[in-house]
Structures are given as structure tokens and as C-alpha cells.
Amino acid sequence: MLDTSYRVEIPGGIELEAQVVGPVPRFLAFSIDFMIRSVMLLVVGIASIPFGELGAGFWFIFWFFIEWFYPVIFEVFWRGQTPGKKTLGLSVVQDDLTPVTFGTSLVRNLLRTADFLPFFYLFGLITMVSNARFQRLGDLAAGTLVISIRETAKPAEVTEVSALAPPTSLLRTEQTALVDFLHRSQHLSKPRQEELASILDEVTHSASDNRVEKLHRIGAWFLGVR
């Protein structure tokens, strides 16, 4: 299965998680921004006609600014979102999930020219589907990601789960996996829960009839439920 989860551990042992975004929503967001830029250029172009060559020169300057700095300004000053990205619930961040800076945003957008080659972002599309984080060339060079920031479902309540100490010591990643399993179980079907829980049978020493319940109880123990 394709897993779009992206995790990074920051100082203090705190783990952050986000969902990276694939080509389709990014293309839709780009289309919205493209239409907005086109309307802006059309309006300025019509307004510049009475000024002749001076108006034409101003239009080309405005086109250059819109083409290269429209996404940069929005990404830096509007939480990593252009109007198109905001509409689709997307945001550009650095690969440590911190807000994008002017320098990183400028690099990723300047390299759109390379992504555009040889025809309408074909190279960028190939690059995106070739790596697990869906990064185009500009993202790889700048160290940025496009993530979803739509409101996610709330974690499951664990107050009614009786805690159970693990039968053996577990690594931090294993502890995190058990806690995540507890929180997300309510969004998984029973067969899927059984499938995932069976992977940890050797760790939890669970029988086939109670492995899911045992994972829930161990996850609650790591959350401090007593």
C-alpha cells in the first residue's frame, strides 16, 4: 500500500507527522493559480492599451513579477499557501516541517523551468512519481515538501482502555507504532486491524483471538493510562 505519511523527529524527542501530497491535487492547485494569474495579466493588459509602448513595457514587467514572485510571496507570507493551495488544503513546508523561507521558496519556484521541460511539466511529473515524498526537482533542490493541512479525524479516546505493560522492552519506533495503532483503530476495519496486529504477534505474544485488544492495552500503557 502507498503510505503518504511523513514523519520527522525534532529536538526533545517530539515526533511530527504530515501527509505528503501527490500530483493530482498539486495540479489542481496549480490550475487555480494559473487562472488567477491569467485574469490578472488580462486586466493589466487591457488597462495598459491606452499607454502604447509604455503600457506594453509595464505589462511585461508585471508579467515577469507575477510569473516568478506570485508563488514566492504567497508561500512566504501566507503559511506556505498560494490561493490555489489554500483552496485544496495544501501547504509548502521545509522537509523538517518548519515554515518555508524566502530562500527555499525562491529556489523551488525558479526551478519550475526545469520541471516544465520537455513539455508542460512532464519532467517534474516523472520526478514526483519517482520518489516517495512526491518532490519535483525544485522541491529536491530546496528541501521542501507539499503537505495536506486539512483537518484530520480526532484520535480515539483511550480512557476506557485498561493499560497493559508490554511483555518485553520495545524500541521507540515500536512504541510509537503501538500508540498510533490505538489512535487509528477506529478508522480501520476489523480485518485490517487483525492484519496489522498479526505482524506484532512475536512481540506481544498474543493469541489470534485477542491480539488487537492486547495491542490497544499496550498502546494505552505507553500513553500513561493506568
Instruction: Read off the pLDDT band of 1 (50, 70, 90).
Output: very low
Instruction: Read off the pLDDT band of 160 (50, 70, 90).
Output: low
| C-alpha span between 59 and 188 (Å, rounded) | 54
pLDDT at 177: 77
Please give the backbone phi and psi of residue 185, each rounded to the nearest 5 degrees, phi first.
-60, -35
Instruction: Read off the pLDDT band of 86 (50, 70, 90).
Output: very high
Q: pLDDT, tens digit, for every residue of 176-216? A: 777 777 777 776 777 877 887 787 777 666 666 677 888 88
Pick the range with the lowest mean pLDDT from 7-11, 28-32, 58-62: 7-11
Q: pLDDT, tens digit, for every residue of 144-157? A: 999 998 654 444 55
Instruction: Read off the pLDDT band of 129 (50, 70, 90).
Output: confident
Please give the backbone phi and psi of residue 197, each rounded to the nearest 5 degrees, phi first.
-65, -30
Q: Is the pLDDT of residue 224 over 90?
A: no
DSSP letters of 176-213? Answer: HHHHHHHHHGGGS-HHHHHHHHHTTHHHHT--TTTHHH
pLDDT at 82: 95
Task: Locate the domains of the chain by residue range.
Answer: 5-148, 172-220
pLDDT at 107: 92
| C-alpha span between 102 and 143 (Å, rounded) | 13
Higher pLDDT, 158 or 220: 220
3-class state of residue 147 by DSSP: strand
3-class state of residue 165 by DSSP: coil
3-class state of residue 148 by DSSP: strand
Q: Is the pLDDT of residue 40 over 80?
A: yes
Averaged pLDDT, 45-60: 92
Q: Is the pLDDT of residue 171 over 80?
A: no
CA distances from residue 155 to 20, 95, 127, 151, 152 in whole angstroms, order as listed: 20, 25, 34, 12, 9
| C-alpha span between 139 and 94 (Å, rounded) | 9
| C-alpha span between 100 and 90 (Å, rounded) | 13
User: pTM value?
Assistant: 0.65
